[in-house]
Structure 1
Amino acid sequence: MRGMHRQYPAQTVRNNPNPLLSPAAIPVLDRWVLRDNCPLPDTLGGMHESDHAASSLVETRRHIIVIGGVAGGMSAATRLRRLDARAIITVIERSGHVSYANCGLPYFVGSIIKDEEDLLLQTPERLHARFRLDVRVNTEVTEIDRERHQVHIRPTTGGTVEVLEYDKLVLSPGAMPLRPDIPGSERMRVLRSVEDAALIVNDIARIPRTAVVVGAGFVGLEAAENLARRQMVVTVVEAGVQVLPALDPELAILVEEELVRNGISVVTGASVTEVHEWGVILTDGRMIEGELVVASVGVRPDTTLARSANLALGPHGGIAVDEANKTSDPDIYAVGDVVEKPDFIGDTTSLVPLANVANRQGRRVADHICGLPSRTSPSIGTAIVRVFNCVAATTGWNERRLRAIGRPYRVVRAHPMNHAGYYPGAESMSLKLLFDPNDGLILGAQVVGGAGVDKRIDILATAMSAGIPVEALADLELAYAPPFSSAKDPINMLGYMAENIRFGECEVVEPGELPELLEDGWTLLDVRTPEEHRLGSIPGSVLAPVDGLREALNTLNDGPFVVYCAVGQRGHVATTLLHGLGYKARNLNGGYRTYMAHTTAERSPA
């Protein structure tokens, strides 16, 4: 019976010095547990292994139930099997698919992934054949009885309730897509499951060619792009002031511009109030045509079972867990989108509905159940999205979140090429790094561009997780050849710039600080070429190209100066020269390119 036996520590058996305990016996003993108060004998006394097992050992096969499949649940179940060949492992999945690539759903809608079968990673039959998992699809859990260690299940179509006993329980119910509580919301499609994607594909085949995507987060923009690839006229409606709220505005505007370049209309600062057969009505009264309406306004953790079982919840509505992902019940674990975990930054918890996070948590839970040293790390929220030819990625916190908790931070901005500029095909990218001025630790980073964005955000996420201070980025030895990078990789450049800012070698000005400084009498110097100045400049700036700056000082006032160039590099050279000559000067962080992105974002509808 459950709880009546204890497992003999495998390490103790392996370290037993008795020569009669042969290596051949160890696998057998590892599959058994000792009866209470029945110690392992000093020798096997000449007994055959099977005789000894029959007389002093009793086999137990613990039952582990996993509620919910896909990323977290299936990672836990398959890892459990690899660690425990004899456990009874049952997976209960409410939908018809227990293991599928939910992150690939938008690309199935866009016909980039042609066949629905390509989304199905495993079937119940294959999982049973390889892992001996008892997978029940189209089955729901109606009750968790913690006292009796039982779950009640039944088919989703109704029918007889079956009661299963468990030794350990893993909850992986995921999250539920949100739908606005407005008239006509039942007409909205969501994109959360294979079934959802199939409905949208069927709609595209029979519905006229207009669509509205409500919500401009990662999934919303993926949906918008893929609907456009199906020759639909698409409008994205976002209640906030920008697309991709995870980014800061001056980087999010670059993604919005890419959407517009590819024919997608973007409406920000307005919500949908009604959904009709022909389209939607917004809070400002506008009517947007869209026979197909897809809601992508976020998700909420599916805590229905957790609430009914009186498990502790966190402040954001997810299941509260410890560092081993154990809930308030020591025999129940939780993983994935439903879990609320400590955040990497700040004394708080957060919900991180990402498949890669769920996969890692599932593995760690299996380790912990099987007695291996295990803990899950706080999440830093690394995410990436491709929108046509633009890639946007983020890790850690943005400025808005840091300001909200009063956390001090400094900003580094750069606009380098993804590889050597002289090698054909070089593309520009925009990087933003946030760090703590006291200890230099990375608080967040954002990258927008084309090729190479994923590489840089992964390096920054790794550095952040490892607690590497920003100045150490300057000395990272990264792979270099002209087709792949520059001799000074963009990551190295961030390190150089952060080092200059942190240790006072260069003072910088943020675009939002310019108006106040100009009112206080600072002179704005444009150190670019005359040709660049004619193509566009910051109002009120004085042209003084860096190559002739020493001579130009004879015609300028005594400052102080705010200096800018295209991206900040020449501005830094000019600022250090002015400092060396005794002038007070500060460099505009990110140069004219950041200034233009900042002002464009400020002009976006609020």
Structure 2
Amino acid sequence: MKKIVIVGAVAGGATVASQIRYYDKDAQIVIFDQDETMSYAACGMPYVIGGEITDSSSLLAATPEEFKKEKNIDVRLKHRVISINRELKVVEVLNLDTQQSFEESYDVLILSPGGTPIIPKTPGLESSNMFTLRNFNDMEKIKHYIKTEQPKSCVIVGAGFIGLEMAENLVNLGLNVSIVEKSQQVMNIMDVDSSALVEKELLAHGVKLFKGNFITKANGQHLDLDLGEKIQADFILMSVGVSPSTELAEKAQLAIGETRGIVTNEYLQTNDLSIYAIGDAAENIDFITGDAKRVPLAWPAHRQAYIVARHITGDNIPFKGLLGTSICKVFTQSVATTGLNEKTLTDRHMNFKSLTQKSNSNAGYYPDHEKIFLKIHYDAATRKVLGAQVVGGKGVDKRIDVLSTAIYAGLTMDDLQALELAYAPPYSTPKDPVNMAGYKAK
């Protein structure tokens, strides 16, 4: 009987355990996680804070008791794995309640440790009410603070996915929200023109933007910015990004890559073939270029979990790489991206062309229609689609998914013309915006 030990019990860890059990009814499976909750929907946390989701417990997909009863998987929360002995195939585990440590043996070890919020070193930051939003407990702390202290203002540091989702939800709670972003644009994974549409939406809803800026000093509610502005906020939400939690892997001398993630092969194995890595801390490759890539989002973690489970149980399905397909709601607009952006294509000296397409989401005569901005990059020689961004009021998810599928399938701009996409006035136009982009590329 194979013994499998898993570090981390959220998206990657809980999913890989369930998948392994589906294919192997006899394996002994043990999961360790240092937090108090497991298998929660982290992507829903901003909407719980904003009151859009009223029951925070609805984010909890499972409990240790349910995993034990329904799947015979042993989940031990508030247990931190502190070292790996690769030669003996044992991990050292610290029980955070008792502070007692013990050893657990394994045949296969799966690392799904996630990431740690990045908190810039800022003089005086300890004098401010500062929060991060990484786990269920963080969410509950922010909720409690807002309910009991009834703050009027917040500064969000970082204009990525979490920062923008939190901006919307805090504005909806009636707070004055400012965003401080070190780069010159919000959502800097997008091209400048796509980002400008997101910025316009934020400003239209009263969010103040301080781009190319960062906090140099904090004194309680008073914050000094690098470009000289002085702003005030009842609390700070640090949303700068996530650093992969690789300390355990580094101590065990597992290879760490250029993205600072744990290097994995096409089956998510590390340089020790009995140890796998998945989720936010795992470094994979870009689907298009083959370059090192790390995408700390839910879809990669779930896909990687499936591939690891199949590999452990005897079916070799390779992981083909990451496109980084993602979508974010920003007030009335949806913002989505897939594949390579303009900066990456330019930095790699790739021979590419770009086009933009402005369309209605569906029939203009139908009362419920919105504007869509679509941008596509494609190979100048082969005309294969390399990347896309879509911003609009509705139908954005449909278009980005079609374009992500087109990249995966190796389709060209000319193929986009020929895609037979669903049409009725409430949903699209006779020639969908994706079709129109294909015709425009001619």
Secondary structure at 1:173 match in 2: coil
Shift of 1:246: 1.1
1:97 to 16, 34, 37: 37
- 1:369 equivalent to 2:312? Answer yes
2:139 to 181, 197, 212: 197
- Tell me what 1:70 maps to: 10
- 1:452 equivalent to 2:395? Answer yes
Equivalent-residue separation in structure 2 for 1:368 and 1:133 (angstroms)? 19
- Tell me what 1:135 maps to: 75
Task: State whether residues 279 and 292 of structure 1, in contact with CA within 8 Å, keep that contact through their aligned partners in structure 2.
Answer: no
- 1:170 equivalent to 2:110? Answer yes
Unaligned residue ranges in structure 1 (runs of 5+): 1-60, 501-606
1:125 to 46, 65, 75: 65
Task: State whether residues 327 and 337 of structure 2, in contact with CA within 8 Å, keep that contact through their aligned partners in structure 1.
Answer: yes
Q: How many residues align?
A: 439
2:415 to 466, 472, 478: 472
Equivalent-residue separation in structure 2 for 1:334 and 1:275 (angstroms)? 38
Equivalent-residue separation in structure 2 for 1:342 and 1:185 (angstroms)? 36
Equivalent-residue separation in structure 1 for 2:120 and 2:219 (angstroms)? 14
Equivalent-residue separation in structure 1 for 2:402 and 2:337 (angstroms)? 12
Shift of 1:208: 2.7
1:409 to 352, 355, 360: 352
Counterpart of 1:297, as a letter, is V
CA RMSD, aligned part only? 1.0
- 1:79 equivalent to 2:19? Answer yes
Equivalent-residue separation in structure 2 for 1:232 and 1:241 (angstroms)? 24
- Tell me what 2:181 maps to: 238
What is the correspondence of 1:414-433 to structure 2 with a 5 Å cutoff?
414-433=357-376
Unaligned residue ranges in structure 2 (runs of 5+): none
Deviations 1:350-397 (A, max 9, x none): 110001110110111010000013111200000100111011100011
1:260 to 189, 194, 203: 203
Secondary structure at 1:460 match in 2: helix
Deviations 1:406-450 (A, max 9, x none): 111101110010111111111111000000011111111000001
Secondary structure at 1:164 match in 2: strand
Equivalent-residue separation in structure 2 for 1:388 and 1:343 (angstroms)? 30
Equivalent-residue separation in structure 2 for 1:377 and 1:229 (angstroms)? 40
Counterpart of 1:176, as a letter, is T
Counterpart of 1:262, as a letter, is H
Secondary structure at 2:213 match in 1: coil
Deviations 1:181-205 (A, max 9, x none): 1113344211110111111112212
Equivalent-residue separation in structure 2 for 1:358 and 1:311 (angstroms)? 19
Task: State whether residues 320 and 328 of structure 1, in contact with CA within 8 Å, keep that contact through their aligned partners in structure 2.
Answer: yes
Shift of 1:274: 1.8
- Tell me what 1:184 maps to: 124
Task: State whether residues 335 and 390 of structure 2, in contact with CA within 8 Å, keep that contact through their aligned partners in structure 1.
Answer: yes
Sequence identity percentage? 41
Equivalent-residue separation in structure 2 for 1:348 and 1:446 (angstroms)? 21
Secondary structure at 2:236 match in 1: strand
Task: State whether residues 179 and 207 of structure 2, in contact with CA within 8 Å, keep that contact through their aligned partners in structure 1.
Answer: yes
1:390 to 330, 333, 340: 333
- Tell me what 2:268 maps to: 325
- Tell me what 1:379 maps to: 322
Task: State whether residues 415 and 431 of structure 1, in contact with CA within 8 Å, keep that contact through their aligned partners in structure 2.
Answer: yes
Deviations 1:453-500 (A, max 9, x none): 0000000001001111111000001111111111100110011112x1
- Tell me what 2:282 maps to: 339
- 1:226 equivalent to 2:169? Answer yes
1:114 to 34, 54, 69: 54
Task: State whether residues 203 and 292 of structure 1, in contact with CA within 8 Å, keep that contact through their aligned partners in structure 2.
Answer: no
Task: State whether residues 207 and 291 of structure 1, in contact with CA within 8 Å, keep that contact through their aligned partners in structure 2.
Answer: no
Task: State whether residues 267 and 316 of structure 2, in contact with CA within 8 Å, keep that contact through their aligned partners in structure 1.
Answer: no
Shift of 1:207: 4.4
- Tell me what 1:46 maps to: none
Distance 1:273-1:158 versus aligned 2 partners, 3 A rule: farther
Task: State whether residues 75 and 359 of structure 1, in contact with CA within 8 Å, keep that contact through their aligned partners in structure 2.
Answer: yes
- 1:434 equivalent to 2:374? Answer no
Shift of 1:346: 2.4
Task: State whether residues 254 and 270 of structure 2, in contact with CA within 8 Å, keep that contact through their aligned partners in structure 1.
Answer: yes
Counterpart of 1:191, as a letter, is L
Equivalent-residue separation in structure 2 for 1:256 and 1:157 (angstroms)? 46
- Tell me what 2:301 maps to: 358
Secondary structure at 1:151 match in 2: strand
Distance 1:108-1:184 versus aligned 2 partners, 3 A rule: farther
- Tell me what 1:567 maps to: none
Equivalent-residue separation in structure 2 for 1:112 and 1:242 (angstroms)? 27
Equivalent-residue separation in structure 2 for 1:262 and 1:415 (angstroms)? 23
Secondary structure at 2:184 match in 1: coil
Counterpart of 2:404, as a letter, is A
Secondary structure at 1:459 match in 2: helix
Shift of 1:279: 3.5
Specify which structure has the higher proportion of helix: 1
Deviations 1:58-112 (A, max 9, x none): xxx2110010011111111000001111111001011011110000111111111
Secondary structure at 1:189 match in 2: strand
Secondary structure at 2:18 match in 1: helix
The structure with the largest alpha-carbon Rg is 1
Secondary structure at 1:281 match in 2: strand
Shift of 1:214: 0.4
Secondary structure at 1:430 match in 2: strand
Shift of 1:158: 4.6
- Tell me what 1:562 maps to: none
The higher relative CO (CA closer than 8 Å, separation ≥ 6) is in 2
Equivalent-residue separation in structure 2 for 1:272 and 1:157 (angstroms)? 36
Deviations 1:205-256 (A, max 9, x none): 2143110000001110001111111111110111111111011111111111
Secondary structure at 2:88 match in 1: coil
TM-score (norm 2): 0.98
Equivalent-residue separation in structure 2 for 1:410 and 1:207 (angstroms)? 50
Equivalent-residue separation in structure 2 for 1:279 and 1:337 (angstroms)? 34
